[in-house]
Structure 1
């Protein structure tokens, strides 16, 4: 039987990637924990946390818009959205920022545009792919931010980035399929 390249990453490759991210965070976490002062005297860590909270809020809005546009996906999206809300809360805790609400905002059920005015794709599969792309993009951005983050924040960003990568995989995998 000829060997073929899998179309999706395996669980092992996802776990290996997550371990790599955590390892990078551990190395970054060995630095001085004193946040540097930057623009306007606001510590670097606080600025980074506030930016991460804003990014999480936009991702939560994207989850809400997707669930509103495709109610049949709401149950599948609920646990992933709850995890994003929990990450936002953890990031906001030390920044002194309010975290985005973990509960869904009420609405009429009409399809809301995703953040940035982008409409949610009309087909459910395309909407999941767009949401996975948003998770993947944010995960990659958080991984890049590890290099400049103070110790504890770097560890938190690594964890959240790894979780975002898993979310991207789960959003594009077939529910109930085994691998």
Structure 2
């Protein structure tokens, strides 16, 4: 009795044909664009990365405002995030954080957090943990983004993601403790 199952060779040929069709369809102009075709992919990715970094800067500012005793500890990490934001910014893209700026103090520190921003926990340790979680989440998202990023941007995102993981560690480590 002949088998009705396809041969292994037939399955492989079919899979290769489907894979080829998928690859070729990705190169055609038939489908609707996922985003504005006039804006290059790298620029869209950079603008997204800058917006994400600016939101992280807002979290640093809100944490320093809610816990002034942490401002000195947060200042170098915030400056690093501001430098990453400036490095990710495209020359033509507007950015409020082009250069590292200090953690706000005085009346500026009393400003309310941005709308939609996560509230800062009341306990300083919890605030640091929340900021570390934000750093870690953004670093993990940037690591996932690497797969679709053009070469130089991918290297920059990898570097910034690595820094985010270091920031997360530093935010949750005990400063001044001996090893």
Call closer, same or farther: CA 1:115–1:159 in 2, change over 3 Å: farther
Structure 2 segments unaligned to the other structure (5+ residues)? 1-33
- The corresponding residue for 2:110 is 110
Structure with higher Rg: it is 2
Question: CA offsets per residue over residues 145-174 of structure 1, 9 Å max, x none?
Answer: 000000000000000000000000000000
* 1:109 Cα offset (Å): 3.7
Which protein, 1 or 2, shows the higher relative CO under an 8 Å CA cutoff with sep ≥ 6?
Answer: 1
Structure 1 segments unaligned to the other structure (5+ residues)? 1-36
Number of aligned residue pairs: 144
* 1:41 Cα offset (Å): 1.4
CA contact (8 A) 1:59 1:134 kept: yes
Q: CA-atom RMSD, angstroms?
A: 2.2
- The corresponding residue for 1:147 is 147
**TM-score (norm: length of structure 1):** 0.73
Whether 1:159 aligns to 2:159 is yes
* 1:111 Cα offset (Å): 6.6
CA contact (8 A) 2:46 2:90 kept: no
Structure 1 residue matching 2:174: 3-state secondary structure? coil
**TM-score (norm: length of structure 2):** 0.73
- The corresponding residue for 1:13 is none
